[in-house]
Amino acid sequence: MGHYRIRRLMLPVMCFLMMAGAIPLTSVAQTPDISTAPSYEETVCVRELPASLVEGESASCGVVTAPMYPDGESSEVVRLSVIRIASTSATPAPEPLLILTGGPGQALDSVLLLFGDAVPLYRPVLETQEVILFDQRGMGLSEPSLACPFEQPGAASATPVATPGANLEAADLSLEAALEPLFACGQQLRDASIDPAAFTTITNAADIDAIRVAIGVDQVDLYGVSYGTELALAAMRHSPDAIDSVVLGSALPLEANFLLSQITAFDEALKAIFAACDADPECAAANPDPEGTLERVVADLTASPITLMPVSPVTGEPVEVPVDGALFLNLLYTSIFIGEGIPFIPGIITSTLAGDTTIIEGILSLSLIPAPTAQGALYTFVCQGEYPFITQAEIDQVLADTDALEVLRGGAFVGVTALAFPVCEAWGFPAAGEEINHPVHSEIPTLIVGGGFDPITPPQFSEDVAANLPNSTLVIVPGLGHDPITTVGDCTIGLAASFLADPTAPFDTSCAAAITPDFSPAPPPGASPVASPVS
């Protein structure tokens, strides 16, 4: 979002955010002789803060200790790593804003960067209130950690697929290469006596109120992205009186299953892009029959994979990567997910069929960035909250009923869905409670922002969530993919800041409708989807 977030073998966000810090797996943290009432302790910052944040002045770090189990019947605790960023207002709102990261499994590091001078995206929200970043339970620097062996400091690879370990001249991005280290990770979690039932969206939601209690405020505001929206919705049900307002970017309803939506939403996004291209005379002339062309490209690459030499962002050296039909689909998915690659999709397909792989080689380079989403945490949550509630046969039936593109049927698209079935079967974790699938109804003021081409949490999800939140404002940004709030800067983050400043006041959302992709221009040779013509 995952959720969002392995796309072919990693969540798409892995390719575009900096590596989140991982810590060695520890056994369950326990304090048997003290109260498990939530508490906060300020500590020295072990993470490097952006230059614009000064420890002890504009930012501080700490640890929130919270009950491991919300029922309070156990003395076991979790310790959540927290960073508090001071408001720039002389009279800040009494409610701090908690930012809920995606994944599940994304640490706070990549969000922290967006408060720095290089990309000061989130600074407008500081004009209203304090912001609190935290590593969710099992993630980042929180304890106990769900980090896999390959995610721990000193490991040969920060992800099972992106970095090829000892062989830095070749990378295997296949499904098979991802499975073995993930199987080993599940065994490690069992050997460490980790109780998976303590790591679900329901227990995660209880931590939000624990943070509020620990820092001593009456209410908080929430801002969730992707999986963070599912977590925010669960928190709205868990402690509604403790939440003043909520912002949801790329909403994921609790009742949805993203192992299904990762495929169906990708299908919808591709069809919408093909339709937009057909409606544009220049795009249609340059890319006749993009659906048929995609089928030919995937079939050709499946029969005869090609070897490309993208430059690794980690080493700066070329890396040999075999590209088959499944990996090509994942490269398209990544481009749509980020949003700025949407206008290039028809051209990428057409040029690849013609033998020009310049653009996909550039996208492939991004796929070699180490993952910021902890796979141990991701599958601990997925294997309890998603996998038990759907079967491959049900997915196949939905794809048939919706007349999904043939290239997306039969397991051709390798994302979290393809990995989850063998991984979760091997891990053998129990199913989470049925509550995790119940829709959330709430009167809390909420801003919901979705992307018109989102390939995992489609616009329909935002509409479904809004239907259950009578005090919500729904904004669909037509030209963007996943996480539209942080994709285009001033407009969408401005909407969030305006809403948070006064959640009950009307505000102008018209700028979002103007964000549309121009499918006419052909990308120049060597272009990257990061430089697409989004107006």
Q: Residue 494: which of 508, 506, 481 has the closest Cα?
A: 508
DSSP letters of 350-386?
HHHHTT--HHHHHHHHHTTSPPSB-HHHHHHHHHHHT
Query: What is the structure's pLDDT at 534?
Result: 27
In this predicted structure, the answer to whether residue 164 has a pLDDT above a threshold of 50 is no
Query: What is the structure's pLDDT at 35?
Result: 57
Could you give the 3-state DSSP secondary structure of residue 419? helix
Cβ atoms of 407 and 206 within 8 Å: the answer is: no
In terms of average pLDDT, the best of 85-94, 359-368, 508-517 is 85-94
Cβ atoms of 312 and 318 within 8 Å: the answer is: yes
In this predicted structure, the answer to whether residue 32 has a pLDDT above a threshold of 70 is no
DSSP class of residue 292 equals: H
Query: What is the structure's pLDDT at 337?
Result: 87
**411 phi-psi bin (left φ>0, alpha ψ -120 to 50, beta other):** left
CA angle 201, 428, 156 (to 5 degrees): 85
Query: What is the structure's pLDDT at 319?
Result: 87
Query: What is the structure's pLDDT at 368?
Result: 78
Among all chains, which residue has been given the structure tokens 């398209």? Answer: 332
Of 159 and 220, the structure prediction assigns the larger pLDDT to 220
CB-CB neighbours of 303 under 10 Å:
9
Cβ atoms of 1 and 259 within 8 Å: the answer is: no
Q: What's the start-to-end Cα distance of the chain, in Å? A: 25
> What would the two tokens of residue 444 be?
């809390």
| Cα–Cα dist 19/62, whole Å | 21
Residue positions counted in the chain: 535
> What would the two tokens of residue 266 be?
């990708």
DSSP class of residue 138 equals: B
Beta pairing partners, 92: none
In this predicted structure, the answer to whether residue 511 has a pLDDT above a threshold of 80 is yes
User: How remote is the C-alpha of 367 from its chain's centroid?
Assistant: 15
Query: What is the structure's pLDDT at 372?
Result: 67
> Which residue type does 50 have?
P
> What would the two tokens of residue 475 be?
């904004």
What percentage of the chain has pLDDT greater than the value 70?
85
**21 phi-psi bin (left φ>0, alpha ψ -120 to 50, beta other):** beta
Query: What is the structure's pLDDT at 153?
Result: 59
User: How remote is the C-alpha of 469 from its chain's centroid?
Assistant: 23
pLDDT digits (tens, 9 = 90+) for 295-332: 999 999 999 999 998 888 878 888 888 999 988 998 99
Cβ atoms of 451 and 480 within 8 Å: the answer is: yes
**Arithmetic mean of pLDDT, 365-374:** 75
DSSP letters of 96-130?
PEEEE--TTTB-SHHHHHTTSSSS-TTHHHHTTS-
Band the pLDDT of 183: cuts 50, 70, 90.
very high
Query: What is the structure's pLDDT at 173?
Result: 67
In this predicted structure, the answer to whether residue 23 has a pLDDT above a threshold of 60 is no
Average pLDDT, the chain: 85
Q: Residue 110: which of 32, 226, 252 has the closest Cα?
A: 226
Of 175 and 271, the structure prediction assigns the larger pLDDT to 271
Cβ atoms of 336 and 182 within 8 Å: the answer is: no
What sign does the dihedral 136-139-143-146 (CA atoms) show? positive
Report residue 225: phi and psi, to 5°. -125, 130
- Residues whose CB is less than 8 angstroms from the CB of residue 176 and which lie 6 or more positions away in sequence, other chains included: none
> Which residue type does 117 have?
D
Query: What is the structure's pLDDT at 369?
Result: 75
The b/e string for 324-339 (b: 16+ C-beta within 10 A; e otherwise) is bbbbbbbbbbbbbbbb
**Arithmetic mean of pLDDT, 109-134:** 90
Report residue 208: phi and psi, to 5°. -65, -45
What percentage of the chain has pLDDT greater than the value 90?
65
Judged by average pLDDT, the poorest of 32-41, 307-316, 344-353 is 32-41
| Cα–Cα dist 399/409, whole Å | 7
In this predicted structure, the answer to whether residue 15 has a pLDDT above a threshold of 90 is no
In this predicted structure, the answer to whether residue 219 has a pLDDT above a threshold of 60 is yes
**Arithmetic mean of pLDDT, 421-442:** 93
Could you give the 3-state DSSP secondary structure of residue 238? helix
